[in-house]
Structure 1
């Protein structure tokens, strides 16, 4: 590596063997003694490697498997050195000396618990600060700063412009944990700028340490930790240019952890897979004290599987919890606490606590937690015996993090099992396991110069200056006075010099800074003097605090099935904003649903099941994890080995069938197979999520322009599907691959008015202060912003963001070149051949095309033997209404009883006095019951009570006249006595199906018009 890059551990060992000072030896000895004092029987490999580097205060990137003790490898040496300086009298200055940054609040809680114990033994103080920290705790920290502060990237950004910023004047160490979680997203770019700014507040040289379990690009990660651009030669008084040594030690534990993982294929729906998981847990329990994590890729899957397990596990010694980001903090903390129990893992001795404890009083209970990515990071969850995963983890890093939660020590193989119910997931899981066994992790692409992040930190610099906070100045009072005398302006040159010290912003231009400032100025956030190239804060504080997070604030809508009147799941506001029109069809939990109404006030989407066939159904895949090109290629290679008989597994049955269906060929890493009919084309391409997205957009845009008809497109990591009302010919596709064009420009054009770009524009506009942070997403407003701000940083950044996250321009160019040169072959199959005997015309598409066709419900074969939509709805309405309960209250004697409609007699009478005047009210409607009771006793009723009694009398009249059918109608959602009277008058003596249909129509009418009512 060059002089400005990172250095490997071997290079550092050589460096230190020739520069080994007596002082460094003494520090190492003290650190080793501290490990012994804390009770560590032996050091792990990463701990041994880290000590000599940290003892010399070098920026370091520490990479080691989950369970290797890398947190202690960094923190115990750091705490030892800080404590030694304090106790030796060299450092009596009050202030934060160590800043520990973690991406999740849950990690804050975990680290606080562990670090407090270490720090207290060394006479140091530790505290935690995040968004939930009380104002009292914040004030206390400002008055008496801790020696060690644990926080999140977002909270750090907020502290930089507040009174807490002054506590950083003594800062010496910054530790960034779970670096892989921050590196590839805007939170990483946001944190990188915050780190540069916090260093300016310190009067000391700051050492940075990065911690990670899985990294595919060590050099990029090292530059994130320690990077100094040539710009520092000109502005050596800014940021990391102030005398920093530009070297980063890359300390890697290259001993690969072993993974004992089985892949189980279950040819059944998700509900049946959940039952297989239950049986696996019961069959493989080794101890009553162990806990099991069940990971899924989406929150809906987690909730669905957990609900089935709750009903089907039938074992009092096994409890089932759910853990994901949509649950409250209290619920998540409680689940984590139960998981830890009393036998959490002890890093000191590489043993589980109480391993030999034979206490018979311990409650025998296995905790099964169904979770998403919320538990894949380094939260202490105690002894996890096994990790179960539903579906493919889709990424090597995900599998390492999730399966690595089991047997949380690097010396023991991680234990896991992956349950899949489709061939894609099974062979993909096998491919990921193969990569994991070689330590081959996906590379993480950093965001280059994200302009919304830049804008936020420009405002932060202006607020810092306004607050009188300056680098390395302990005399804050005089500093503040000096700032007020000189003004509170920041020069563009000064801001640019700081920004370009950050690796992600190394190519940021002065025009980027000026464009951001002009937009912020137009929104009244800063005052920008273009002539003098200076800016200062205006209405900046509220903007800065409201936009401290780079994670979009995504509101959730409950999806309510009006037939069963139950919440069946949730949809993000971005989906509702784009597809939430009445009558639209979408897929949730494997079923089609038709939108009846969206209630924005109550955050509800009211839907009904839809069983007919619908073309181009929107499919919500907002949480789906992308599969990279390398994994998809390995899947293709394994497919070829399967059909050659060199891999024998359950998946081979599916692939061998597909091989025959496709005419003795299979799509693999060197071959595209294209199945086509006049209006539908499936391109099988093992190229990964981003490249297939790019190819799909290219094909759709070019072919649509040539045909003059819209070509709809869908893609997944292994397929691209094109459909149109016009005929799509073989030549159309070939021309796309062979013609010359500007690929990036075509993709940019194709993005206009798409969901991805609209959503990105909305969030970027929020971060520039153009849209209120609490505003509900609207694609119409997003389109207006696109038109109005087309030549501003808002649209430029939105386009860059979408291209970065969803597409791979360079990779796609390489694939097209391989197609042109014949390195990648194309095999064509006309599905009409041999399909004359089939009525639907789609039956000849191969079984390998089914995943993308089923997901989008293309063709008659998508639903096997469906009921008509009306028949199916009536059946479910009947089932729900028959299970409804009513409180029957006699209007003569006021006696009451609760009855289910299905058990009610045809003719209803009071069980006590045999009166036929019996009202039906809600089982918990005590107000109406009390009104009836007062009336029976001839007591005086107020206006509200009189109204309730009259309504009960009307219900009693209906029950007297129509009996059980009156109860059926009154069970309808939103069906009051007047509506029930109208339905019963016209349809009470019709067939029951007719009556049920009218009840459901009344329910739909209530739902669709409720938003116009005056509550």
Structure 2
């Protein structure tokens, strides 16, 4: 969103609106900006993939103004002409500020408005009377606008649609929702110009095709030289037996020093709970920074987020601890430094966050990785190489999410009504629904008309009816109101509002927190939220009332999203680094620091490489351990561990305990297993994969949980009215009832099929699991019998202990294990005859396993936080 650089280029005389505006500022456009201007002038659609901070916004925005800004007066601005879609509220507000500047300076009589979940009722009322010339909004708000009875008239002047950060929407249901809205707008305006913007897409042709389908568009590459610096904050020393988070806040003094060295910094964390902890820790380390550092994440109140964003804009804040809420395209010029606490988990995410600093052409962007455990040093070295080689993750659009289609049918019935054949043809103009079958369409129509085969007797599910002219509409005002309130359920979570409790009743709002966390607290318990220590007073009407607390131990809210898996691209780069280490190459500062850890691993066992699959077997008092290191991410490892346990149990009855992290998995049996004979090609065969995966897991229960989201999107369950929302438990019970009814009386219901497919594709990532199995079959098995747990095995043991220890503190157990393992490793890492505690003091006495009557193994699963 920043102006191009002022470096000299061979440039023709400024011509046209864009050239004139740039010349007035003594700037010169990049070639890709001119290419976009020319394409828009010719009425073309396309995708602009350009370096972060290179000026993507001005490329598309000035092209839109040059082509379409030919009307409007001060008293009556032009009608709605451009829709600007953003995936996040913070990005929407920032975009609106960026778009306003050229309007003011060029004297264009266009009005500009913002429409998101944060928009107040007064502004919504104004927009109901007349939409602004330019509307910055989200996919959910756009769909809501399309439910207006006069939607076609309201969008009559629309000429162009821009999707910012298209990669963020491409691969999920919100993107499918946007595709359906685009199809409706293209039906009304066949010449509609559509452009997508992104800086981090690994499969750009696919992203372009999804955006412009079924038409064609231009892919513009805006490669501008950018100095992207990635370094690592190296700890003074590391443990040779790491576990998740063991460095963590030990890095606090160095992080504080880095923040102190820059005018303004962003400290990114992967979870909201982590951001709360780091904000509090930094404030305790530097109390003089009170008022100069802030916290930003999606659960905070809008007023808090707005204050933080404005403070960053004006350079008034020293640092902001944040999550992905400030990831995307937000323009904060004063930001000099970005620190990433913990693994970035993906190459694209790291590049996005790095781009928040030096957000302008000609300015370097710098991100510093802060490892939270020793193996993240290897990840840091791998991430630097992956970024240098542009190994950016690919994203694919979902295939026929029928819950989104059902919601869309009711939306279109509200927005003036529809004729089934016309709407079917329109829906098939979306890439995600291009293969929609006639029987699937007929099922969707029947479902919104009378609830399908099993809900015919219930009026609440008779949502759409054809009128005398054959136009399908929503006959009930109550159903219409409920549907409009449910359109945002694609992204909503079950949450409670957090408010201060005062003598007079409710006080100011602090934000929202997941209901599952509050449900575990009792009045009087304390927790950290919004950077404050709070005491829970009471819970009432989906609101948690709190007051300030002091000097008491606090819990930290744990929101969903903390188990983000390592991407394939970053995982492959990590294995390459380990392969080089196995050959004696430690070429980076990170690898040099990790060298003692890796040398212990090599002395006691081996390192995984690009051509080998490392498996370690170990006998302890707990039983027989198998440690396997595919480096495929936690989701795949959970599915793989369950699959291996299932296949082993079909050969002989056996019980396994399972632990997984991003690097590998552990299978623990109380009875002896001959892993040297078992680990053959058939165990890793991708044949009958779906059958075996479904057999190895409680797939019915997984599908039941997944069905809750599907039921909400499809309108089967209603979250409640403002101030009287239903709890997560109520929603789960309601959706579970539908799930059971459908399974018993309507087994062919396509929403059941969708739930099972989403479990396989999203929770277990079965496609990546299949690729992993094929890759493992091609690798040479490196089976090592180890006398004691190795550095790679140690994190998996810790994750299992997190669940199994009760009377003994986990920290105490880990400390004793570390002392014995370090003694066994010796000063140089050589094994010694010292006893290893884990072989002498089991966490539990193993029990004799019993097989199920149906032959299925008794598997205890634990997907670790890694």
Say yes or no: TM over 0.5.
Answer: yes
Change (3 A) 1:76 1:296: same
Q: Spell out, residue by residue over 1:904-962, the C-alpha distance to the aligned partner (whole angstroms, 9 max, x if none).
A: xxxxxxxxxxxxxxxxxxxxxxxxxxxxxxxxxxxxxxxxxxxxxxxxxxxxxxxxxxx
Q: Distance in 1 between matches of 2:362 and 2:178?
A: 33
Does 2:619 match 1:656?
no
* Aligned position for 1:262: 231
* Aligned position for 1:206: 192
Change (3 A) 1:220 1:178: same
Does 2:605 match 1:670?
no
* Aligned position for 1:936: none
| 1:850 aligns with one of 771, 790, 794 | 794
- With a CA cutoff of 8 Å and minimum separation of 6, indicate the structure with the bigger relative contact order: 2
Change (3 A) 1:83 1:819: closer
Indicate conservation of the 8 Å contact 1:296/1:389, yes or no: yes
Q: Distance in 2 between matches of 1:382 and 1:130?
A: 24
Change (3 A) 1:795 1:379: same
Does 2:282 match 1:298?
no
| 1:275 aligns with one of 214, 236, 253 | 253
3-state secondary structure, aligned to 2:279: helix
Q: Distance in 2 between matches of 1:557 and 1:541?
A: 26
| 1:714 aligns with one of 652, 659, 665 | 659
Aligned positions of 1:677-756 closer than 5 A = 677=619, 678-708=623-653, 710-730=655-675, 731-734=677-680, 737=683, 741-752=687-698, 756=702
* Aligned position for 2:833: none
Does 2:431 match 1:503?
yes
Change (3 A) 1:544 1:750: farther
| 1:253 aligns with one of 202, 211, 222 | 222
**Shift of the alpha carbon at 1:632?**
1.0
Change (3 A) 1:738 1:304: closer
**Shift of the alpha carbon at 1:669?**
5.6
Q: Spell out, residue by residue over 1:17-66, the C-alpha distance to the aligned partner (whole angstroms, 9 max, x if none).
A: xxxxxxxx99x931344323652521134323322222211001011121
* Aligned position for 1:777: 728
Indicate conservation of the 8 Å contact 1:295/1:370, yes or no: yes
Indicate conservation of the 8 Å contact 2:798/2:814, yes or no: no
* Aligned position for 1:98: 82
Query: How large is the Cα RMSD of the aligned pairs?
Result: 3.8
Q: Distance in 2 between matches of 1:651 and 1:756?
A: 39
* Aligned position for 1:916: none
Does 2:150 match 1:150?
no
Deviates more, 1:629-638 or 1:736-745: 736-745
Q: Distance in 1 between matches of 2:637 and 2:686?
A: 19
Indicate conservation of the 8 Å contact 2:171/2:396, yes or no: yes
Q: Distance in 2 between matches of 1:320 and 1:115?
A: 28
**Whose radius of gyration is greater, 1 or 2?**
1
**Shift of the alpha carbon at 1:512?**
1.9
Q: Distance in 1 between matches of 2:65 and 2:514?
A: 43
Q: Distance in 2 between matches of 1:620 and 1:675?
A: 35
| 1:383 aligns with one of 291, 309, 334 | 334
Q: Distance in 1 between matches of 2:72 and 2:306?
A: 35
| 2:756 aligns with one of 764, 774, 799 | 799
**Shift of the alpha carbon at 1:781?**
5.4
Q: Distance in 2 between matches of 1:67 and 1:800?
A: 38
Q: Distance in 1 between matches of 2:517 and 2:151?
A: 39
Change (3 A) 1:815 1:55: same
Does 2:492 match 1:552?
yes
Indicate conservation of the 8 Å contact 1:294/1:369, yes or no: yes
| 2:108 aligns with one of 115, 119, 122 | 122
* Aligned position for 1:113: 97
Change (3 A) 1:527 1:545: closer
* Aligned position for 1:191: 178
Indicate conservation of the 8 Å contact 2:247/2:374, yes or no: no
Change (3 A) 1:665 1:221: closer
* Aligned position for 1:68: 54
Q: Distance in 2 between matches of 1:738 and 1:133?
A: 52
Change (3 A) 1:573 1:756: farther
Q: Distance in 2 between matches of 1:865 and 1:141?
A: 60
Change (3 A) 1:67 1:454: same
Gaps of 5+ in 2: 1-11, 239-245, 452-459, 499-510, 523-527, 530-537, 547-551, 720-724, 816-866
**Shift of the alpha carbon at 1:319?**
1.8
* Aligned position for 1:524: 461
**Shift of the alpha carbon at 1:102?**
1.0
Q: Distance in 1 between matches of 2:463 and 2:706?
A: 24
Q: Spell out, residue by residue over 1:612-663, the C-alpha distance to the aligned partner (whole angstroms, 9 max, x if none).
A: xxxxxxx98733322222321221111111232212421222111111121x
Indicate conservation of the 8 Å contact 1:96/1:167, yes or no: yes
3-state secondary structure, aligned to 2:336: strand
Could you tell me the TM-score, scaled by structure 1's length?
Answer: 0.66
3-state secondary structure, aligned to 1:846: coil
**Shift of the alpha carbon at 1:214?**
0.9
Q: Distance in 1 between matches of 2:387 and 2:41?
A: 32
Q: Distance in 2 between matches of 1:629 and 1:149?
A: 37
Deviates more, 1:533-542 or 1:95-104: 533-542
Does 2:605 match 1:636?
no
Does 2:325 match 1:334?
no
Q: How many residues align?
A: 726
* Aligned position for 1:766: 712
**Shift of the alpha carbon at 1:305?**
0.7
Indicate conservation of the 8 Å contact 2:494/2:728, yes or no: no
Could you tell me the TM-score, scaled by structure 2's length?
Answer: 0.76
**Shift of the alpha carbon at 1:557?**
9.8
Change (3 A) 1:674 1:775: farther
Indicate conservation of the 8 Å contact 1:462/1:490, yes or no: no
3-state secondary structure, aligned to 1:423: coil
**Shift of the alpha carbon at 1:665?**
4.4
Change (3 A) 1:257 1:851: farther
3-state secondary structure, aligned to 1:400: helix
Q: Spell out, residue by residue over 1:182-221, the C-alpha distance to the aligned partner (whole angstroms, 9 max, x if none).
A: 111111111111111123334x621001111111111111
**Shift of the alpha carbon at 1:181?**
1.0
| 2:160 aligns with one of 159, 173, 181 | 173
Aligned positions of 1:877-896 closer than 5 A = none
3-state secondary structure, aligned to 1:169: coil
Deviates more, 1:419-428 or 1:368-377: 419-428
**Shift of the alpha carbon at 1:862?**
8.4
Does 2:584 match 1:645?
yes
**Shift of the alpha carbon at 1:252?**
0.8
Aligned positions of 1:475-490 closer than 5 A = 490=419
